[in-house]
Amino acid sequence: MPLPEFARTIILFTVLLAQAFTAAAATPIPDPPQVAARAYLLQDFHSGRILAEANARERVEPASLTKLMTAYIVFSELRAGTIRLDETVRVSEKAWRTGGSKMFIEVDKLVTIEDLLKGMIVQSGNDASVALAEHVAGSEDAFASLMNNYAATLGMTDSHFVNSTGLPHPDHYTTARDLALLTRALIRDFPEYYQWYSQREFTYNNITQYNRNKLLWRDPSVDGVKTGHTKAAGFCLIASARREDMRLISVVLGARSESGRAQETQKLLNYGFRFFETRRLYPAGQVLTSARIWKGEVEQLPLGLTEDLYVTIPRRQYDRLETAMDIAPRISAPASRGQAYGTLEIRLDGELVASRPLVALRSVAEGSLVQRLSDEFLLLFE
């Protein structure tokens, strides 16, 4: 009995829909957009995956992007308790005289660290940066040494700082890659202070100045981070945006104009959010598997990850991820919490997406003499 016309239409529609979905799922990711800048980089915050880059390791002048490192150090001192937000700083003549963009602090006046931070972050005040540097380290030269120590700790291998402001100097340089590392660390380590980077204006000394990051007005998902400009560096912008559970960091260096750096940054952010997604696959501390441990006080050793595992993949590819675990063939007590005993690998269509060590989630001491002898006997037959 032939199918009614209505039924045939439904079946045809279902087949066409399935074909369309399959085609959409297999759609290749286009090349990143052309970016009119000397160097750029687009990175996912959670997974660390780089989605687009050009000349990302080329040394450039960072201009006021330098102030991200100045802020990172001040935030670190606040967390350590060596300084307080309500603590006052006496403005030196050097800080007052510093050229370039200003917060308009006055020599010998007392200013709180919180106001200086907002003056540096929102208004990009060079005077505020120097005042903070001198207060933290005693002098700007000593603070620059701190900056280089922090850079080394963060893995910024192609950066060198000689001042807290970003004013031009032949030995003051960094790269797009290093700036992305710094930005990621700042957002991760100091979320309570990062919120200031979304502040659109700040008033000090009856002078209101506006944040130079135009994307704070244009794109509601953008919540930072910092602009920079000198004649040699060109127009620079580091931006971060969050849409749903995905956060991206964009670094654009050496654009041609103030509007250009915003436009090129928007291109990169739109590309990343449109074609990629980030998923948390496994949380830190979750037992992913257990391994036999010999000669211990217990027989099973729980294994997992030290940090949350995120992956950034093309959209609509999540169901094609494959997980594999490689566990050490023979584990004997004692075992220390955090010690690696295997590897977790995530692949997409055979390509390695992420690899993390599987570590012991608890310590296991040696078992009793009877237990050790019993396991020694059993191992003879392994």
Q: In which residue are the tokens 């030196």 written? A: 92
221 is catalytic: no
Length of the chain: 382
- The three-point CA angle 43-148-212 to 5° equals 50
Q: Residue 224: which region, alpha, beta or left (left: phi > 0; alpha: psi -120 to 50)?
A: left
Q: What's residue 379's pLDDT?
A: 72
Of residues 47, 92, 101, 124, which has the active-site annotation? 124
Question: Largest Cα–Cα distance of the chain, in whole Å?
Answer: 97
- In which residue ranges of the chain is pLDDT below 70? 1-27, 375
pLDDT in tens, 138-192: 999 999 999 999 999 999 999 999 999 999 999 999 999 999 999 999 999 999 9
Q: What's residue 366's pLDDT?
A: 87
Of residues 64, 92, 159, 240, which has the active-site annotation? 64
User: Exposed/middle/buried for 306, CB within 10 Å: 0-12, 13-18, 19+?
Assistant: middle
Query: Helix 67-80 vs helix 126-137: angle between axes, to the nearest 10 degrees?
Result: 40
Of residues 67, 214, 226, 267, which has the active-site annotation? 67
The secondary structure of residue 24, as a DSSP letter, is H
Q: What's residue 375's pLDDT?
A: 62
Q: What's residue 6's pLDDT?
A: 38
124 is catalytic: yes
Q: What's residue 23's pLDDT?
A: 41
**What is the CA 211 to chain-centroid distance, rounded?**
22
Q: Residue 295: which region, alpha, beta or left (left: phi > 0; alpha: psi -120 to 50)?
A: left
Q: Are 113 and 103 in contact (CB under 8 A)?
A: no
HSE (side-chain half, CA atoms, 13 Å) at 56: 17
Domains of the chain: 39-277 (3.40.710.10), 283-379 (2.60.410.10)
CA 70/CA 127 separation, integer angstroms: 12
CA 220/CA 237 separation, integer angstroms: 17
67 is catalytic: yes
Three-class SS of residue 174? strand
CA 142/CA 163 separation, integer angstroms: 9
Q: What is the residue-wise DSSP string for 229-296?
A: EETTTEEEEEEEEEETTEEEEEEEEEESSHHHHHHHHHHHHHHHHHHEEEEEEE-TT---EEEEEETB
